[in-house]
Each structure stands twice: as C-alpha cells, then as structure tokens.
C-alpha cells in the first residue's frame, strides 16, 4: 500500500492539493492501492473534543500537583506552573462549548460573523490550554510553536527525545502511529510544504521508521526542494527518511513505486535524493511534469466532514512556477524548474469533475501568479459551458488585465476575489523590487475591481532593502486612506516583514541592493534564509518596528474575521452574503 500523509499544521478550511494530485496521478497509471490522510485536520478535530482530551486535562492536574509540591521551581517551571493553573480554570469553563464551536463552523451559523468569531476564539483558547502540559510548546488553529528550531537538524532530533514538549511525538505515537503500522504499507509519503510542518512531518517519519523499519519513507514538498545542497552533503535525516523527492513529484513518486516494487534501481527515479552504500545520490537533471497530462486531483478519502467550513472549498492548479520570475525577493523560480501552464480547457474540465464528484461550488487557485491570457480563456470557457462556480486566485498587477473588459469576464465566470502581490505602492521601491508594475496600473485595477464588485486582497512587504519608513507608509496610506478600498466587499490586507530567502535574485547578487554580510546561526543547517546588513534604508530593528506599527494600523482598519483570517473563509462569505448583489452585478454587466 502507498500511504500518503499531510502533517500538521495547515488552515482548517480546506485540504491541501499535494496528496490529491499525487493520488490522482498514481491511480491514472494503474497504482490504485493508495491511501491519503490529512493529519493536520484530524489532529485538530481530535484535540477540539472534551471526550478525547479528558486524559490531557487529567495530566494537567497531575503536573500541577507535582510542580506545586516542589520546594523550589526554576524560572521555566514557574512559567509552566502558571500556565497549568490557567488551564485548570479555563478548560472546565470551555469543555461544554468546544464541540459546539466546531459545529458552528460546519453549519450555516458560520455565516454569522459574531458566531464565527466566537467559535474561532473558543477553539484558539482551548488549544492554547489543553496542551499546557507540553509548555512552552503551543498549538493554534493554524500553526504551532515549539522551542526547537525547524531550521536545525540537531534541534529536530532533540525534539524526538522530549515528548514532554514535542506534543506531535506524543500525540502521533498514541493516536495515529498504531493505526498506520497495522496497514500493509510498503511506501509512506509525507508532504512537507511549510516550515511549520518540518518538525511534525519528520517526527512522524521517525516514529514510523522506528516501528516499521522496512517501510520506505519518502518526503516531498517545497521545503526540501530548497535544501538539495544540504541533503547532498549528507544528513542524519537519512537515518529515518529513505528518500526525498524534490521539485515536482507526480512522475518521481510513480517511478519510485515501480522500482521499489520491481528492480529496486532508485537511480532511475527522477528528482530523487537517497543514500546508497553510505553515499548520498541526487538524480539530476531534475525533471518537470507535463501539466496537461495530469488528471483531475482525487480527493477520495479526505475527511471532508472535519474541515471547519459549511461548504467545501477545494484547491485547484492552473500553472506552476511564475511567468514573471524577476522579483528580487522571490524564491518561486528556485522552487520550480520553470514556469508551465495547464490548458484552460483542461482546468475547466477539472472544475466540472470536482463540482460533480464532490458537490463543490468554491475553488481556490494555488498558482503563485495566474497568467492573464490563461485567465481570459479559462473564464470565457466557464461561461460558455455554464459552469456555476465561484473562485479566487493570486495574480500580479498587469496592464493586460485591464484590456477588453477582461475583469468583467472574470466576474461573470465566478471570480469573487483577486489576491494581489502588491508589495509596495512606492514606484522607486517597486522598481527596486523589479516588480515591473507602474502604480498607475494598480490604481486602474483597483478602480475596476471596485466598479465590478471583485473583492481584493493586498500583500504588503515591509523592510525591503533600501526602503525607507516614508516609502513603507506610501503603501500603507494608499490602502488605509482610501475609504472606497476599505468599504469594498471582502477586502483584506496582510503585511509581511521582508526576509532574505535562499535562492532569490537578492541572495544571489546582494550588493546590487546594498546588502552584505549574509549569515546564518551556526547550527541552522536547514535555514531557508539569511541574516544580513544593509548600506541604506531600514535596518533589521527599524524594519521590525515599522512592521509592527503597520500591522497594528491594518488591524484597526481591516476586519480580521473572516477575510484577513482565511481567504477560503472569505470566499465563502462573499458567495453567501453578496449573492443578491452578485446576480444584480452580473445582470448589469450583461446588458
């Protein structure tokens, strides 16, 4: 059996695309003994239940008694004692509400914003307290925090020795590993797509390898695609991970299955990194997929009833990589071989297949930047074939989007929100970033979105090298002083602080931006970025200060729930609360 796992943590609104894409591809090629599990949502659901977590509360009381009876407490023990006391009070107050909070988010009450906010607050407070025995580790609805750095192999390995803090180790071992190892598994695939999944994903790999050494464990996802150079030098991770699949994974996983079940020759598996006779092998050149040969993703087996939404929102893919590939801060070209796109007709068929099979009316494009020509053809064909769906996706501000009433066509086809990587509204900074975007295009695009009724999301980047405080405020003021933007349906805006990431143009040629002295902490062998110094603009401390100021200002002006909290939840809200306006707008656009 091929057993595919998506580890904690991820947003609970929808499944991630990686496993369904792999399962669909394997099935297409005759490999049908494939199971997929979303442990991120399974663990969240398990913990948000009083019935399941009573033993955790009993442990809190036991730990509280033990610490309280000690004559002397260290500083960390004092902190833990206070956390345990807080949990002792809060958990009984919420134990009769936690299951109901999940129900609110899975029913029509989800669309009452007060009930929605209340439910999420209950869940967040519950998670913060029910795991108090693992202090200082924390779990939230959408993430986790442990004192062990995911950027350090040594600290990851250390986390396995501390199940009293690494709750993934403890909870996976108790509740998931026994069921997994009962199965007749020959290959276990773990998808690690974000930094927060490194420790839970590798913890699971370690536990499975310990229990069933003969299972071939392979890890895929974008994180280790960025770490080929580190793995190639040799890594203790190979003690419990048999192989890593980097870049795109469909054909590599298929070939891995075929060769492991056949001649065992892993040298014939593209994009594979593995160890043979004590030596790390990297199967170059790396290969990319023929996107138009890929089947519709297969979500069979995904626990749809566990996601915290009343309707399904499914991820969909139109392209991989980025057609622009020039932004100075962006590592997307480093993750992908190059940009390639799926035929619009094929994606429309994916929409139709998923709508029919799973009763899904809402879709979320996972593309880094949707190509405008693709969008034009795609939206026209959705309309022609009368496919009644609502969707959102991310794109770059482009002049070509403003031609030939293209945005009206997007809206008619079901586009309810566009996610823009604006980054800055200062022209000098945009040019320094190599965004290739005049502010006039931003202005006109915003005007069109407001006129037509397309919701907008803006990403703002704070602290790009050479950027001054006044230039940051140009971006913030553009949004916060524009009441028409703030009042537009579904508007959301998130600021991020600049990180110098591995593989970016800026990392390859830092002096072009006055950046120098790139470094990493000594033990951070898995680091995906750098600390650095600058010759002009905001330094690291100043950038952090301005970033915090920007975040506070945005939070005062832009409602967090639901649109800033979850783009998928926001899409559902737009479809539900704007349904009458949507029909009126479409009728007006059609005349």
Q: What pLDDT is attached to residue 333? A: 75
Q: 282, 298, 320 — which closes off a domain? A: 282
- Residue 453 near residue 411 (C-beta atoms within 8 A): yes
Distance (Å, whole) CA 514 – CA 93: 55
- Is 512 a member of any domain? no
Same domain, 6 and 126: yes
Residues 161 and 40 reside in one and the same domain: yes
494-505 confidence digits (pLDDT tens): 999 999 999 999
Question: What pLDDT shows up at residue 312?
Answer: 97
Q: 314-318, 330-334, 431-435 — which is least confidently predicted?
A: 330-334
For residue 386, give Cα distances in angstroms to 348, 355, 360, 391, 463. 11, 12, 15, 14, 45
Which of 264, 282, 300 is a domain's end point? 282
**CA dist., res. 465 & res. 535, Å (int):** 9
Note whether residue 330 is domain-resident.
yes
Distance CA 197, CA 569 (A): 22
| 234 and 321 fall within a common domain | no
Residue 523 forms part of a structural domain: no
Q: Which whole number is the average pLDDT over 438-445?
A: 98
Q: What pLDDT is recorded for position 591?
A: 62
Q: Give the separation between CA 340 and CA 350, rounded to whole angstroms.
A: 17
| CA distances to 369, 473, 481, 532, 538 from 429, in Å | 20, 12, 20, 19, 13
336 pLDDT higher than 80: no
Shared-domain flag, residues 187 and 115: yes
CATH at 411: 3.80.30.20
- Tokens coding 23: 């399962």
**Residue 363 in contact with residue 313, Cβ under 8 Å?**
yes
Same domain, yes or no, for 366 and 460? yes
The Cα–Cα gap between 2 and 187 comes to 5
| Domains in the chain, number | 2
pLDDT, tens digit, for every residue of 199-232? 999 999 999 999 999 999 999 999 999 999 999 9
Contact of 39 with 6, CB cutoff 8 Å: yes
Note whether residue 301 is domain-resident: no
Last residue of a domain, one of 260, 282, 304: 282
Report residue 33 CA to chain centroid gap.
Answer: 27
With respect to residue 519, please indicate whether it lies within any of the assigned structural domains: no
Q: 503-539 pLDDT, tens per residue? A: 999 999 999 999 999 999 889 999 999 999 999 999 9
Compute the distance between CA of residue 357 and CA of residue 510 in angstroms, rounded to an integer.
49
Q: Check pLDDT > 70 for residue 147.
A: yes
561: which DSSP letter? I
Q: What is the pLDDT of residues 378-395, one digit of tens each?
A: 999 999 999 999 999 999
Percent of the chain residues past pLDDT 90, beyond the cut:
97
Whether the CA torsion 111, 47, 237, 5 is positive or negative: it is negative
Region 155-177: mean pLDDT is 98
Residues 327 and 270 in one domain: no
Give the Cα separation of 282 and 267 in Å (integer).
Answer: 9
Phi-psi region of 417 (alpha: psi -120 to 50; beta: other; left: phi over 0): beta
Residue 241 · residue 231 · CB < 8 Å: no
In the predicted model, is pLDDT for residue 578 greater than 90?
A: yes
* Judgement on whether residues 278 and 316 belong to the same structural domain of the protein: no
Listed in sequence order, the residues at least 6 apart from 582 whose beta carbon sits closer than 8 Å to its beta carbon are 416, 453, 575
Residue 34 belongs to some domain of the structure: yes
pLDDT tens column, 174-192: 999 999 999 999 999 999 9
E strand intervals along 442-590: 455-462, 492-497, 500-501, 515-519, 529-534
- Report the C-alpha gap between 283 and 285 in whole angstroms: 6
Q: What three-state secondary structure class fits 513?
A: helix
Name the burial class of residue 408, with classes exposed (0-12), middle (13-18) and buried (19+) by CB atoms within 10 angstroms of its CB. Answer: buried
pLDDT at 282: 98
Residue 442's domain comprises: 312-502+539-590
| Residue 389 near residue 396 (C-beta atoms within 8 A) | no
The rounded distance, in Å, linking the Cα atoms of 573 and 583 is 15
Give which of 580, 105, 524 is closest to 306, Cα–Cα: 105
User: Same domain, yes or no, for 411 and 474?
Assistant: yes
The strand pairing partners of 420, in sequence order, are 395, 458
Residue 527: inside a domain, yes or no? Answer: no
Asked if residue 372 and residue 268 are part of one domain, the reply reads no
Report yes or no: 246 and 233 within 8 Å, Cβ to Cβ.
no
Percent of the chain with pLDDT over 70: 100
Tens digits of residue pLDDT in 238-250: 999 999 999 999 9
Q: How far is CA 159 from CA 169, 173, 183, 189, 388, in A?
A: 8, 14, 27, 21, 48
Task: Show the 3-state SS of 172-190.
Answer: HHHHCHHHHHHCCCCEEEE
333 or 94: whose pLDDT is higher?
94
Tell me the average pLDDT of the chain.
96
Q: Euclidean distance between the first and final Cα of the chain, in Å?
A: 56
* Residue 332 confidence (pLDDT): 84
| Same domain as 245, residue 321 | no
Q: Is 427 among the domain residues?
A: yes
Is 268 in the same domain as 317?
A: no
DSSP structure string for 223-238: HHHTTHHHHHT--GGG
**With bands split at pLDDT 50, 70 and 90, how would you rate the model's confidence at 567?**
very high
The pLDDT of residue 321 is above 70:
yes
pLDDT at 337 over 80: no
Shared domain check, 109 and 170: yes
Q: How many residues does this entry show for the chain?
A: 591
**Tens-digit pLDDT profile for residues 455-474:** 999 999 999 999 999 999 99
* pLDDT tops 90 at residue 335: no
Q: What radius of gyration, in Å, describes the C-alpha atoms of the chain?
A: 24
The tens digit of pLDDT for each residue in 253-297 reads 999 999 999 999 999 999 999 999 999 999 999 999 999 999 999
């Amino acid at each position: 059996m091929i057993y595919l796992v998506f580890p904690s943590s991820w947003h609970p609104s929808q499944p991630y695309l990686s496993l369904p894409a792999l399962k669909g591809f394997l099935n297409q090629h005759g490999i049908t003994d494939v199971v997929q599990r979303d442990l991120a949502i399974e663990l969240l659901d398990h913990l948000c239940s009083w019935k399941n977590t009573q033993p955790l509360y009993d442990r809190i009381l036991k730990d509280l008694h033990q610490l309280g009876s000690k004559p002397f407490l260290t500083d960390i023990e004092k902190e833990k004692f206070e956390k345990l006391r807080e949990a002792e009070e809060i958990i009984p107050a919420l134990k009769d509400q936690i299951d109901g909070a999940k129900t609110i988010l899975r029913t029509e009450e989800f669309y009452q914003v007060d009930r929605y906010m209340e439910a999420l607050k209950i869940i967040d407070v519950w998670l913060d307290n029910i795991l108090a025995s693992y202090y200082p580790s924390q779990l939230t609805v959408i993430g986790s925090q442990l004192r062990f750095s995911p950027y350090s192999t040594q600290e990851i390995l250390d986390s396995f020795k501390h199940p009293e803090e690494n709750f993934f180790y403890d909870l996976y071992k108790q509740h998931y590993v026994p069921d997994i190892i009962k199965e007749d598994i020959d290959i276990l695939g773990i998808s690690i797509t974000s930094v927060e999944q490194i420790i839970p994903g590798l913890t699971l790999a370690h536990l499975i390898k310990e229990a069933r050494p003969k299972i071939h464990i392979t890890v895929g996802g974008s994180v280790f695609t960025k770490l080929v150079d580190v793995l190639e030098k040799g890594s203790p991770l190979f003690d419990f991970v048999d192989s890593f699949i980097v870049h795109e994974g469909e054909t590599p996983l298929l070939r891995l299955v075929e060769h492991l079940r056949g001649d065992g020759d892993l040298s014939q598996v593209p994009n594979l990194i593995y160890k043979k006779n004590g030596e790390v092998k990297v199967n170059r050149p790396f290969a990319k997929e023929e996107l138009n040969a890929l089947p519709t993703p297969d979500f069979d087996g995904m626990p749809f009833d566990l996601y915290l939404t009343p309707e399904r929102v499914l991820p969909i893919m139109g392209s991989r990589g980025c057609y622009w590939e020039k932004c100075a801060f962006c590592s997307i070209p480093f993750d992908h071989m190059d940009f390639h796109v799926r035929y619009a007709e094929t994606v429309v068929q994916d929409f139709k297949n998923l709508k029919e099979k799973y009763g899904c009316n809402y879709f979320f494009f996972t593309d880094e930047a949707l190509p405008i020509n693709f969008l034009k053809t795609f939206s026209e064909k959705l309309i022609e074939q009368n496919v009644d769906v609502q969707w959102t996706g991310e794109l770059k501000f482009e002049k070509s989007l403003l031609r030939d009433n293209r945005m009206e066509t997007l809206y008619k086809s079901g586009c309810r929100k566009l996610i823009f990587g604006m980054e800055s509204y200062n022209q000098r900074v945009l040019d320094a970033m190599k965004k290739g975007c005049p502010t006039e295009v931003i202005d006109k695009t915003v005007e069109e979105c407001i006129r037509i009724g397309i919701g907008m999301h803006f990403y703002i980047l704070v602290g790009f090298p050479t950027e001054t405080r006044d230039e940051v405020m140009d971006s913030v003021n553009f949004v916060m002083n524009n009441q028409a933007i703030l009042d537009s349906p579904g508007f959301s805006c998130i600021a991020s602080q600049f990180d110098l990431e591995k593989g970016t143009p800026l990392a390859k040629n830092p002096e072009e931006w006055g950046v120098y002295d790139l470094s990493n902490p000594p033990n951070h062998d898995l680091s995906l970025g750098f600390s650095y110094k600058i010759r002009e603009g905001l330094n690291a401390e100043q950038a952090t200060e301005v970033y915090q100021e920007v975040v506070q200002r945005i939070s005062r002006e832009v409602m967090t729930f639901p649109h800033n909290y979850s783009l998928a939840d926001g899409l559902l809200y737009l479809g539900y609360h704007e349904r009458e306006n949507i029909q009126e707008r479409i009728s007006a656009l059609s005349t």
